[in-house]
Homo-oligomer: A and B are copies of this chain.
Amino acid sequence: MTMAQDPQAVQAVMLDELLGAADTQGLTWEIKNPQGRAMPRISGIASLTNATPQSISFLSNPKFFGQLASTQAAAVLLPARALEHLPEQTPFLIVCCEDPYLLYSRLSQWFEKQRLARLSRTIHPTAVIHESAHLGQNVAIGPHVVVEENVSIASGVTIGPGCVIGRDCQIGSDSLLHARVTFYAGVSIGERCIIHSGAVLGADGFGFAPDATHEPGGWSKIVQFGGVVLGNDVEVGANTTIDRGALDDTIIGNDVKLDNLIMIGHNVQVGDHTAMAGCAGIAGSTIIGKRCTIAGAAMLAGHIRLADDVHISGATSVMSDITKPGRYTSVFPLAEHSLWQKNAAVLLQLAQLRRRIRDLEKS
């Protein structure tokens, strides 16, 4: 069951009212209703294939123009270039706009806002909140939450069931922590952040000094005294971990988006608007510029620096600085296993092959 299909999810609203009420700042749009149909009532957003006569849908990718013919949607967000591909009479109203994907995003936020407004905002009696904690107005705290000493929670914050907020943390206004998030002591996040379940902010960075005084190969722990600081509008995915710094802080810029199961090492710095997909890993003290994208399962070594506007492909390993914007890749190309075996075997003789070519060239 999708939430969008839940008839209770939202009171249906007239299409024109919806577009007027949603945040469309910076966007232009126009309802096209050549057949003069009645303005439809919209109860949710849906994909073209699963839309109902109360759905609004959208289409950006020309690859899917074919799906328009059979959609049940009451209205579809479309770019102007799609209009010429439509039949004279469409069974839906058209909301013509420059960027249907972005307008869809804004509409989705409006529906979410309505949904959230109906949820009760209380502090559950099973939550254990230290008396020194400071809670702003309209804060909601779920069951079995723990809030330790000297925590500051700004207005409009939601803390889901089972979260643990360590001492001296600061949570900016309107931020949302889903169920079972952990903040160690000394974590600070900005406004409108979204932290997903299982995320751990502020665990110890991985720091040990080699210490052979007791036994060869021994380790001595470096206690991690730094904090974690997130800017505004940061999203942190499920089970992602962001370690606290050794002495200084680990710093995540504004509008940074982190997917699930990402590992951010201690003292990493991530620039504004940078996004990372699932399973990415950033080793300690690495500095990433602004507006970078790190695709899924990419890995960055420690103590390196990426310039602004660098794009790392999926499953790529970055082992040294990248100083120029651009896209970078390091993936062994996929092949059927038997072909892979042959090529991999030759790969191990590559330096030798080059020598043989050189010899041939000489003779």
Q: Which residues of A contact B (CB under 8 A)?
A: 1-4, 6, 25-27, 44-47, 49-50, 99, 101-102, 104-106, 108-109, 111-112, 124, 126, 128, 142-144, 146, 160-162, 164, 166, 168, 170, 178-180, 182, 184-186, 188, 194, 196-198, 200, 203-204, 206, 208-211, 213-223, 225-227, 233, 235, 237-239, 241, 243, 245, 247-249, 255, 257, 259-261, 263, 265, 272-273, 275, 277-279, 281, 283, 290-291, 296-297, 299, 301-302, 313-320, 326-337, 339-351, 353-354, 356-357, 360-361
Contact = CB atoms under 8 A, between A and B. Distances in A.
15 contacts: A3-B226, A50-B248, A101-B209, A104-B209, A105-B211, A124-B128, A180-B182, A182-B197, A198-B241, A206-B257, A263-B279, A328-B334, A329-B341, A331-B332, A335-B348
A241 B247 contact: no
B186 A3 contact: yes
Most B CB contacts (10 A, CB to CB) among A245, A318, A341, A357 go to A357
A283 to B, nearest CB: 5
Given A44-B225, A343-B350, A314 B301 contact: yes
A233 B208 CA distance: 12
A350 to B, nearest CB: 4
A296 B297 CA distance: 11
A252 B355 CA distance: 45
Contacts of A273: 215, 217-219
Contacts of A278: 206, 241, 263, 265, 281, 283
Contacts of A360: 357, 360-361
Given A203-B238, A213-B27, A340-B330, A297 B272 contact: no
Copies in the complex: 3
Nearest to A327: B337
Given A162-B162, A330-B331, A354-B353, A197 B188 contact: no
A109 to B, nearest CB: 6
A202 to B, nearest CB: 9
Given A247-B46, A299-B297, A146 B179 contact: yes
Contacts of A337: 313, 326-329
Contact of A314 (B179, B198, B283): B283
Contacts of A356: 357, 361
A44 B317 CA distance: 37
Given A144-B128, A178-B203, A281-B278, A330 B319 contact: no
